[in-house]
Amino acid sequence: MELIITEKDNAARRIAEILSEGSATAERRNGVNVYRWGDTRVVGLSGHVVGVDFPPEYNDWRDVEPAELIDAEVTKEPTQENIVTTLKTLSRRADEAVVATDYDREGELIGKEAYELIREETDIPVSRVRFSSITEREVRNAFADAEEIDFDLAAAGEARQIIDLVWGAALTRFLSLSARQLGDDFISVGRVQSPTLKLIVDREREIEAFDPEDYWEIFADLQKNGSGFEAQYFYDDDGSEAERVWNEADADAAYADLTSVDAATVTSVRRRTRTDSPPTPFNTTAFISAASSLGYSAQRAMSIAEELYTAGYMTYPRTDNTVYPDDLEEDVLLDEFVGSPTFGEDAESLLEQDDIVATEGDEETTDHPPIHPTGEIPSKADISEDEWEIYELVVRRFFATVAEAATWERLRVVSEAGGRSLKANGKRLVEPGYHAVYPYSSASENHVPDVEEGEELAISDVRLEAKQTQPPRRYGQSRLIETMEDLGLGTKATRHNTLEKLYDRGYIEGDPPRPTALANAVVEAAEEFADRVVSDDMTAQLERDMTRIANGEATLEEVADESREMLQEVFDELAASREEIGEHLQESLKADKTLGPCPECGESMLVRRSRQGSYFVGCDGFPECRNTLPLPSTGEPLVLDETCEEHDMHHVKMLAGRDTFVHGCPRCEAEKADESDDEVIGPCPECGVAPAEQRDEGGDAAEGGDAEEGGELAIKHLRSGSRLVGCTRYPDCDYSLPLPRNGDIEVTEEFCEEHDLPELVVDPDSDDPWELGCPICNFEEYQARNAVEDLEDLNGIGAATADKLAAAGIESLEDLRAADPDGIAAEVQGVSAGQVQDWQSELEA
C-alpha cells in the first residue's frame, strides 16, 4: 500500500482527486478523513500534530522559577491524538510513504514529524514531493520525481519551535509573575512579537512627541477660454522650489500681491513624456500590501490565499521570490484566460503584444515562484465574494507584470502674477499600458490646458490656506509587515500571524494598530531592564542562524545553545530588578483600566472582572470602599480617551464584534436609570392580572381580580445602560423581554390581541421609525429568526465553510460544541480559533 501524507485535509482531498482521476472515496478513521482508491491511501494532518513542550514537572508557574526553563529539557508530545493514531495505523500497513506537505521550512518540519511517527512503526521507504501549486500538472510532475526530506530545512523549523518556546515561556512567566497577572490575563512575550511591538510603540511615541508647525500655502484658479485649472504659489529657497510659507507675514504679503492683479502671464511651458513601468510579481509582502488596499487584514488575506492555493487556483502564497521561473510560459498561461467572461478580453489584448516579457523584482529564490494564477479558473459561484476579489487581484497582478509600460504626458506651466510665481503640473495618460488590466494602481489625470509662453490667463480666485505639519502616520498592517521584513523580523510565513497575536493578547487595537497601555508598559520595562527582549538585532541574528541551519552551515543544537546563552544573559539583567519591574507593570496595567475618581472616597474607579467572568466598575479602595457601577453584559470593555465633563470619568466602549457599541460614562448611565420611572404597559404573562375580558374599561383588573397578587410588565431602564420590559414583581418574577439600547420609545394605543400589550415604536419622530410592535411578539419573531438548528444558522458559516467543517469531522451542532477550537483552526483553512469560540458561545447563548 502507498501512503500519502499532506499538511491538511483539504490538500489531501484535492491531491486524491487528481491522482485518482476523481475515483477516490473517503472513509472516517478515528474522526479523520482517509481518501482511498486502489492500493493508495491519502491522509491529511492538521499542521503540526506533535508539539514541543516542557516536561510536566515544569507546568506549575508558582513552583518553578522562570529561569529554570532556560536549560529545561524540551519534549515532543502528540497534540492531535486521533490523527497520530490514524497515521501510525496506516503506516503499519504501508509498503511506502510519500510526504506531500507544503514546500517551506514549516512544511518540511511537519513532514519530518510525520516521518518520525512512521519510523516508530516501520522502516518503509519515505520520499518527499514538492510543488508550488496544487494543479494536476504540478502534482503529477512532483509525484513522478520524488525526492528525500530536507532534514536541514526541517531542523531550521525545529530550532524556531524550540527557541520560541524557551524564550516565550521563560519571559512570559517572569513578567506575569512579577506583575501578578496570571490565568487568562498573563503577560505574553515573544522572540519576534516583542521587537515588533516596540516598532508600534516607538511610532506612537513619535506621534505623541510631535510638535506641529504652522505654515501657509496659496492657490490660484487660472482660466483659459473658460477652462480652469489650479496653480500653486512657490518661491526660491536656496535653489529649490518651496510651496510652504513658514512666516505668516510673508504669506499675507504674497497673498496681497496675487489678489492685487486679475491676470497671470505664462513665463514657462515644459512638455515631456514619462514611462510608467508595470509592477513586479507578487511576493508575500507585496501581496499583503495590495490586499490591504482592498480592506483585507494581513491574516485574512493570507487565509484566503491559502484556500485558493489548496483549491488549485493560485500558487503557494508564502514566497520571497519576485522573478518568474524560466519554465513559466507567460503566453500559455494567458491563453488559459481567453474566453473567460471576466478576464478573456484583457488576456486577448495582452496576447496581441509583439513581445510578452515579464517584469522582474530584486529577489530571486528557487523554492517557490512569485504568487500567480495557475490557469485553473473558478466561476464566481464556486468561491466566496472575498475569495473572488483576492483571486482577481492575483490574476490582474500577473496580467500587469506581462503588460506594456504606460506612457504619461506631463505639462508644467509657470506663470507670474503681481511679482509672484505660480506653477501647475498637469498629466495625461497617453498609453494606458498595464493600467488597462490592473485597476488597483492610480491612473488619475490632472488637466492643465495647452498654453504658450507670454499668454495671459485670468485669475478667478486666490486662496490662502493655513495648515500645520502632521505627525508621522501609524503603521498600517501591510507597512508594518514590510518594516518587519526589512529588519529581518520573522519570516514570510509568520509575520501576519505575529500581528494577529498582538491583537489577540491585547497589545494593539484598531487599524492601523495602536499600542495599549499594556504594550507601553511591557516595552518600557524591557527597555529599562533588558533591552534585548525588544531588540530587532538579536531576533534578526537568530533568523540568520536558522537560515544557516537550513543551508547545512550550523546545527540545531549549536543555534539553540547560543540562544539559551543569550536568554541567560537577559535573565541576569532582569533578576536584580524583579520587584521594580512588577510595580511598573502593575501601575501601567491599572492605568489602562482606570475610569476616574470614586465619588465616595476619591480613589480610582477601575474596570474589574467578577469571578463569573462579567465586567463591572469597582473602586480601587476595596474592601474599605465598596462603591461599584454596572457595565453591560455584552462585550469586553475598552476605556476610551473621551471623558465625561460632569463626572470626570472616561467613557467605555463594549467590544462585541459586529455588535460593538459605545456605552458612555458608567455614572451617567447609572444615574439615568436611577432617575427614570418604570412605565407600566400591561399584565405580566407569567404572574400577571386576569386577561382582557376580566378587566374594566380603564384597563384595571375588575372586581374580584387578582391584581394585588399579580405583576405587570413595565419598561425599565437598568443601571448598566440596557433597557427591557420586565415584571414589576422582580425578583420574585424574573420574566423579561429585551429592548433596543438606543432611541426614544413610544407606547402606542394599538394593542396586541393575543397578549393584551400595547405596540411600541422606537424613534417615532425620526425619518425611519422602527415599529417594534408587541414586545412579546417581537421577541418570539426574533427567536425564530435566530434559531440555530444547523451549522449554517451560525454567523459566518456559509455552505462552503460548512463543507470544510464537515470534512474536518464537524457535521452537527453537537460536534461543534465539543470541538477543540485550536484543533479546528489548524485543520480548516480560513477558520480561526477565535471564530470557533464565537460559534460555541453563540450556541450557549
| Contact of 371 with 317, CB cutoff 8 Å | yes
Q: Which residue has the higher pLDDT, 597 or 688?
A: 597
Residue 706 in this model has a pLDDT that exceeds 50: no
H or E element in which residue 463 lies: strand 456-468
b/e 155-194 (16+ beta carbons within 10 angstroms → b)? bbbbbbbbbbbbbbbbbbbbbbbbbebeeeebbbbbbbbb
| Contact of 5 with 49, CB cutoff 8 Å | no
Q: What are phi and psi of 254, to 5 degrees?
A: -65, -40
Residue 157 in this model has a pLDDT that exceeds 80: yes
Kindly list the distances between the CA atom of residue 820 and the CA atoms of 178, 186, 625, 834, 840, in Å, as whole numbers in the listed order.
31, 21, 42, 11, 10
Say if strands 508-509 and 227-237 run parallel, antiparallel, or are unpaired: unpaired
Give the pLDDT confidence score for residue 793 in this predicted structure.
75
pLDDT per residue as tens digits for the range 737-768: 988 888 888 999 999 988 889 999 988 888 88
Mean pLDDT of the chain: 88
pLDDT per residue as tens digits for the range 315-359: 999 898 999 988 889 999 999 999 999 999 999 999 999 899 999
Give the integer Cα–Cα distance in Å for 567 and 589.
Answer: 25
Q: Write out the three cell numbers for 201.
A: 510603540
SS3 821: helix
- Axis crossing angle, helix 556-575 with helix 151-179, rounded to the nearest 10: 10
Q: Considering all CA atoms of the chain, what is the largest pairwise distance in Å, rounded to the nearest integer?
A: 103
> Could you confirm whether 103 is annotated as catalytic?
no
Give the integer Cα–Cα distance in Å for 231 and 549.
Answer: 59
Residue 432 in this model has a pLDDT that exceeds 90: yes
Give the pLDDT confidence score for residue 501 in this predicted structure.
86
Give the integer Cα–Cα distance in Å for 762 and 715.
Answer: 13
| β-bridge mates for residue 207, sequence order | none
Cis peptide before 513 (omega within 30 of 0): no
At 704, the pLDDT band (50, 70, 90 cuts) reads very low
Q: What one-letter code names the amino acid at 544?
A: R
H or E element in which residue 518 lies: helix 517-529
- Which member of 35, 255, 296, 316 is catalytic? 316
Cell 470593555 -> residue: 637
Residue 656 in this model has a pLDDT that exceeds 80: no
Give the pLDDT confidence score for residue 693 in this predicted structure.
44
Among residues 17, 21, 16, which one has the least CA distance to residue 6?
16
Give the integer Cα–Cα distance in Å for 481 and 284.
Answer: 10
pLDDT per residue as tens digits for the range 231-240: 999 999 988 9
DSSP character string of 447-462: ------TT-EEEEEEE
Find the angle CA(746)-CA(747)-CA(748) to the nearest 5 degrees: 105
Give the integer Cα–Cα distance in Å for 79 and 75.
Answer: 12
| Contact of 726 with 712, CB cutoff 8 Å | no
Residue 496 in this model has a pLDDT that exceeds 80: yes
At 184, the pLDDT band (50, 70, 90 cuts) reads low
Which DSSP symbol is given to 183? G
Give the mean model confidence (pLDDT) for residues 297-325: 90
User: What are the start-end ranges of the H helices in 120-263?
Assistant: 136-144, 151-179, 193-209, 248-259
Give the integer Cα–Cα distance in Å for 112 and 278.
Answer: 41
Give the integer Cα–Cα distance in Å for 434 and 406.
Answer: 6
pLDDT per residue as tens digits for the range 91-109: 999 999 999 998 888 899 9
- Axis crossing angle, helix 495-504 with helix 298-310, rounded to the nearest 10: 130
Four-point Cα dihedral 520, 524, 525, 529, nearest 10 = 160
Cis peptide before 512 (omega within 30 of 0): yes
Q: Write out the three cell numbers for 35.
A: 481518501
When mean pLDDT is compared over 60-69, 336-345, 508-517, 725-734, the highest value belongs to 336-345
Q: What are phi and psi of 166, to 5 degrees?
A: -65, -50
| Contact of 234 with 243, CB cutoff 8 Å | yes
Kindly report which listed range (126-135, 491-500, 557-566) carries the lowest average pLDDT score. 491-500
Residue 247 in this model has a pLDDT that exceeds 90: yes
User: What are the start-end ranges of the H helices in 210-358?
Assistant: 248-259, 284-292, 298-310, 330-335, 344-351
Sign of the C-alpha dihedral computed for residues 109, 111, 114 and 116 taken in this order: negative
Kindly report which listed range (226-240, 653-667, 705-719) carries the lowest average pLDDT score. 705-719
Q: What one-letter code names the amino acid at 5?
A: I
At 691, the pLDDT band (50, 70, 90 cuts) reads very low
Kindly report which listed range (292-296, 343-347, 511-515, 589-593) carries the lowest average pLDDT score. 589-593
Sheet containing 770-773: order of strands: 745-751, 758-762, 770-773
Residue 661 in this model has a pLDDT that exceeds 50: yes
pLDDT per residue as tens digits for the range 440-488: 988 889 999 989 999 999 999 999 999 999 999 999 888 998 898 888 8
Q: Write out the three cell numbers for 825.
A: 483552526
